[in-house]
């Protein structure tokens, strides 16, 4: 069966050593195979300490991020490369080997125009350099596609696939997200199948960001697409619960979930296991 992971924002609003170790423990207790760490502030990340916590818990870790505004790749490619390199080094300290997310852009930053070919080429050149650095470290990276609400650069799997193929390195892949696909794609099955050659990571997130299976995502189409795409990557549960005013504002979660984080985690894991078994993932 595919490995099933969870984004730690289910339990915490930011990553600190104390909060991070708490989330690692909770994920392991519920039965997840891995956790996704928001490695947004590498200077504050204690990879060695978290490595020990992960080993004790018996689970693996990936990491994700959104580029800080000052490192938006089309404006500051050199700064973005330096920042992503520092993140890779910290993730390696924790024994993680896959960094994904919005690696090419800052969410919420717009030009009020469609992406230009020049902008896409900057991303190709810059992410290619990051991929080469990661390869030398024995690591891989994934480019996430999000909706027009968050960025103008990459809104469909096909757009990101084109950039990944242009980079042409085996250690850079596509990071999909069902929440964003629900807003941008013409269905789930065909986009997943058509990006099968580069797809390696997917966020399993409901249309309302809460308990999966209770919204409008066509989960049978998602799993049928993954099956026919011969997908072998992890399934990452991404359900959020408003925790603090800053977190609420960042994710536009204006109403509290009727479920506790632990219920969202347990029921979400059960749902993903049942569907993965049903579709032979």
- Mean pLDDT (the chain) is 95
The pLDDT of residue 204 is above 90? yes
Average pLDDT of the residues in 111-125? 97
In the prediction, which pLDDT does 66 show? 95
In the prediction, which pLDDT does 195 show? 98
The pLDDT of residue 47 is above 70? yes
In the prediction, which pLDDT does 42 show? 96
Average pLDDT of the residues in 195-218? 97
In the prediction, which pLDDT does 240 show? 83
pLDDT tier at 258 (50, 70, 90 boundaries)?
Answer: confident
Q: What percent of the chain has pLDDT over 70?
A: 95
Distance CA 238, CA 178 (A): 10
The pLDDT of residue 243 is above 90? no
Quickly tell me which residue has 């632990």 as its tokens: 262
**237 in Cβ contact with 269 (< 8 Å):** yes
The pLDDT of residue 227 is above 60? yes
Distance CA 33, CA 61 (A): 9
Average pLDDT of the residues in 37-51? 94
The pLDDT of residue 248 is above 90? no
Number of residues assigned to the chain: 281
pLDDT digits (tens, 9 = 90+) for 13-23: 889 999 999 99
Distance CA 144, CA 100 (A): 7
Quickly tell me which residue has 């290619």 as its tokens: 128
Could you give the dihedral angle defined by the CA atoms of residues 143, 122, 151 and 251, in that order, rounded to the nearest 10 degrees?
50
The pLDDT of residue 246 is above 70? no
- Beta-bridge mates of residue 99: 63, 141
pLDDT digits (tens, 9 = 90+) for 58-86: 999 999 999 999 999 999 999 999 999 99
pLDDT tier at 241 (50, 70, 90 boundaries)?
Answer: confident
Nearby residues of 118 by Cβ (< 8 Å), 6 or more positions away: none
For the record, the structure tokens of 8 come out as: 């730690």
Average pLDDT of the residues in 122-144? 98
Instruction: Note the pTM of the prediction, 2 decimals.
Output: 0.96
In the prediction, which pLDDT does 113 show? 96
Nearby residues of 279 by Cβ (< 8 Å), 6 or more positions away: 223, 224, 226, 227
Higher pLDDT, 258 or 93: 93
In the prediction, which pLDDT does 245 show? 60
Distance CA 106, CA 196 (A): 26
How far is the CA of 147 from the CAs of 46, 90, 155, 211, in angstroms?
32, 28, 5, 20
């Amino acid at each position: 069966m595919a490995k099933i992971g969870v984004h730690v924002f289910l339990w915490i609003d930011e990553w600190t050593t104390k909060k991070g170790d708490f989330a690692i423990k909770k994920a392991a207790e519920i039965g997840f195979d891995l956790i996704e760490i928001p490695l947004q502030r590498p200077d504050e990340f204690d990879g060695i300490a978290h490595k020990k916590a992960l080993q004790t818990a018996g689970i693996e870790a990936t990491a994700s991020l959104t580029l800080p505004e000052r490192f938006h790749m089309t404006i500051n490619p050199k700064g973005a490369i330096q920042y992503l390199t520092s993140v890779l080094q910290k993730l390696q300290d924790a024994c993680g080997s896959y960094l994904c997310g919005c690696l090419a852009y800052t969410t919420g930053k717009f030009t009020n125009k469609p992406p230009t070919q020049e902008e896409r080429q900057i991303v190709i050149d810059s992410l290619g350099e990051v991929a080469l650095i990661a390869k030398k470290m024995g690591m891989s990276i994934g480019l996430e596609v999000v909706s027009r609400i968050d960025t103008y650069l990459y809104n469909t799997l096909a757009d990101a696939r084109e950039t990944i193929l242009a980079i042409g390195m085996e250690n850079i892949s596509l990071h999909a997200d069902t929440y964003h696909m629900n807003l941008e794609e013409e269905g789930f099955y065909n986009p997943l199948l058509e990006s099968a050659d580069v797809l390696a990571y997917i966020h399993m997130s409901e249309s309302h960001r809460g308990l999966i299976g209770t919204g409008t995502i066509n989960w049978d189409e998602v799993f049928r697409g993954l099956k026919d795409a011969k997908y072998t990557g992890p399934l990452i549960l991404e359900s959020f619960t408003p925790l603090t005013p800053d977190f609420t504002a960042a994710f536009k979660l204006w109403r509290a979930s009727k479920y506790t984080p632990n219920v969202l985690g347990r029921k979400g894991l059960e749902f993903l296991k049942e569907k993965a078994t049903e579709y032979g993932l």
